[in-house]
Amino acid sequence: MAIHDVECCETFQTHEEILKLVNEQMPDEDELYDLAELFKVFGDSTRIRILYVLFEAEVCVCDLAQALHMTQSAVSHQLKILKQSKLVKSRREGKSVFYSLADGHVRTIIAQGREHINE
Amino acid sequence: MAIHDVECCETFQTHEEILKLVNEQMPDEDELYDLAELFKVFGDSTRIRILYVLFEAEVCVCDLAQALHMTQSAVSHQLKILKQSKLVKSRREGKSVFYSLADGHVRTIIAQGREHINE
DNA sequence: TGAACATATGAACAGTTGTTCAAATGAAAG
DNA sequence: CTTTCATTTGAACAACTGTTCATATGTTCA
């Protein structure tokens, strides 16, 4: 029995190999942190609603505020978060700023989530 | 101009059709809530680490606690959340309870998230 | 039954998050 | 330059979240 094996559930057999496998496959701490941060962004129904609007069209901030019955400030705060995680991108046109989806992962992730809860 | 069109960005053209499209595609409030709740579960690096362990093997609570250097209580609390959202399932065998992945969506969702942040 | 082990649960605490409100920035037009 | 519209930003506050600690539940074996 390897020196770093510690008693647990009074069994010893597979612990070492499992720990080895896990350590090989587990992303490093930074990536785990980034991954959690990304999913946190999806973990708010306001932001999901914003993304659903952007599924249909590129829209400006006041369009979003109107469509979702929210203040423009609240929308802007959430758009900032979505932009920081590179889920949306923006483009200024005169006084307005237009937002759109940054890439296709957004649709896939939400589609998979939806599949899961509808099982 | 339709009666429910409100001024916004001093343009009127596309608002009505966009709002119509969005209302058609947007899931209802309950589903949006459930979706957000699901992604909240992924939005914590502890839970992601637990899922990564379960990618490799079915393990008991104290195995997890050991592998992740956490207290058994903290792991148990998180497993409860993972189980409530049907991401993991459990099976009792004597004194131990073994946890494993509930379905394949977990892998897909995490894989897509990882793809996104590694772009 | 009683002791020992594995897991689950509840309360409490610090840390985080989303919205609101007020104020600032940026752009276009007079 | 000043005004007006669109958006962003920062502070403040209530609500929520993850961990810890103590305790309870459940299982096995003597």
Measured CA to CA, the distance from residue A80 to residue A61 in angstroms comes to 11
Cβ-defined contact of A56 to B108 (cutoff 8 Å): no
CB B22 to CB A66 under 8 A? no
Which pLDDT band, with edges at 50, 70 and 90, does B10 fall under? Answer: low
Q: What is the CATH number of domain B28-117?
A: 1.10.10.10
B103/B79 Cα distance (integer angstroms): 15
- CA–CA separation, A95 and A106 (whole Å): 27
- Predicted TM-score of the model (pTM): 0.91
- Mutation site for B-interface testing, chosen from A4, A46, A56, A107 by largest number of B Cβ within 10 Å: A56
**Lowest-confidence segment of A26-40, A79-93, B20-34, B41-55 by average pLDDT:** B20-34
The domain ranges of chain B are: 28-117
Domain A43-117 has CATH 3.40.50.720: no
Beta bridge partners of B27: none
For all residues of chain B together, what is the average pLDDT?
89
The C-alpha angle with vertex A112 and arms to B34 and A58, in degrees rounded to 5, equals 85
Q: Indicate whether B1 pLDDT > 60.
A: no
Tell me how many residue pairs between chain A and chain B have CB atoms under 8 A apart.
170
Tokens 């899922």, located at residue = B51
